[in-house]
Structure 1
Amino acid sequence: MAPDTGEVALVQAEEPVVQEQAVGTAVAQTYRKLGDALRRGSFPPGSRLPGERDLATSLGVSRSTLRVALGLLNDEGRLERSSQRGWFVAREVVGEPPSTLQSFSEMARARGLTAQARVLQMRERPATFEEAERLRIAPAARVVELRRLRSMDNVPICLDVSVVANAPALASLDMTDRSLYEALEHECGIRIARSSYTVRADAADEQTAELLGIDAGAPVLIGDEVAYTADETPVLAGAMSYRSDAYRFQADLFRPL
Structure 2
Amino acid sequence: MSTGVDTEAGSAVMETYRRLNDALRRGVFPAGGRLPGERDLAGSLGVSRSTLRHALARLADEGKLERSAQRGWFVARSVVGEPPSTLQSFSEMARARGLTPTSEILRRHERPAGFEEAEQLGIAPAARVLELRRLRSLDGVPVCLDTSVVVLSQAAALADMDLTDRSLYETLERECGIRIARSSYTVRADAADEEIARFLQIEPGAPVLVGEEVTYADDGTPILSGRMIYRSDAYRFQADLFRPI
- Bin the TM-score by the shorter chain: 0.5 to 0.7
Structure 1 position 233 matched with structure 2 position 227: no
In structure 2, give the amino acid aligned to 1:102: Q
2:149 paired with 1:163? yes
Indicate yes or no: 2:170 matched with 1:182. yes
Higher Cα Rg, which structure: 1
How far apart are 1:218 and its partner, in Å? 1.0
- Structure 1 residue 112: Cα displacement: 0.5
Tell me the CA shift for residue 203 of structure 1. Answer: 1.0
Q: State the secondary structure of the residue aligned to 2:146.
A: strand
**Matched residues in 1 for 2:198 and 2:158: separation?**
27
SS of the equivalent of 2:86 reads strand
Matched, 1:204 2:183: no
What is the CA-CA distance between 1:132 and the residue it aligns to?
A: 0.2
1:189 and 1:205 mapped to 2: Cα distance? 38
The residue number in structure 1 matching 2:89 is 103
Q: Does 1:215 align with 2:198?
A: no
| Correspondence for 1:116 among 82, 102, 105 | 102
**Structure 1 residue 113: Cα displacement:** 0.6
- Alignment RMSD: 1.7
Aligned to 2:182: 194
Listed as ranges, the matches of 1:14-53 within 5 Å are: none
**1:206 partner amino acid:** E
Q: Find the aligned partners of 2:208 and 2:194 in 1 and give their Cα distance.
A: 12
Q: How much has 1:123 moved relative to structure 2?
A: 1.0
> Structure 1 stretches of 5 or more lacking a match?
1-20, 22-97
Deviation beyond 3 Å, 4+ runs, structure 1 = none
Match of 1:99, SS state, is: coil
| Per-residue deviation, residues 199-237 of structure 1 (Å, max 9, x unmatched) | 001111111110000111111100000000111111110
- Alpha-carbon deviations, 1:120-165, whole Å to 9, x = none? 1111110000100000000000001110000000000000000001
Cα deviation for residue 171 of structure 1 reads 2.1
CA distance in 1, matches of 2:97, 2:157: 31
Match of 1:250 in 2: 238
- Name the structure 1 match of 2:75: none
Alpha-carbon shift at residue 168 of structure 1 (Å): 2.5
1:129 aligns with 2:115: yes
The gaps in structure 2 that reach 5 residues or longer are 1-7, 9-83
User: Are 1:224 and 2:212 an aligned pair?
Assistant: yes
- Of stretches 181-190 and 139-148 in structure 1, the one that deviates more from structure 2 is 181-190
The one-character-per-residue Cα deviations of 1:67-102 (angstroms, maximum 9, x if unpaired) are xxxxxxxxxxxxxxxxxxxxxxxxxxxxxxx72101
The CA distance in 1 between the partners of 2:196 and 2:155, in whole Å, is 27
| SS of residue matched to 2:109 | strand
| Cα distance in 1, alignment partners of residues 156 and 244 from structure 2 | 42
**SS state of the match for residue 180, structure 2?**
coil
Query: Normalised by the size of structure 1, how large is the TM-score?
Result: 0.61
- Could you tell me which residue of structure 2 aligns to residue 10 of structure 1? none
What SS class does the counterpart of residue 188 from structure 2 fall into?
strand
For the Cα contact (< 8 Å) 1:144–1:168, is it kept in 2? no
Report SS of the residue matched to 1:181: helix
> How far, CA to CA, are the matches of 2:213 and 2:244 in structure 1?
26
Counterpart CA distance in 1 for 2:181 and 2:159 is 22
Task: Please report the TM-score for the alignment, with normalisation by the length of structure 2.
Answer: 0.64
2: CA distance, partners of 1:143 / 1:190: 16
User: What residue identity is the alignment partner of 1:241?
Assistant: I
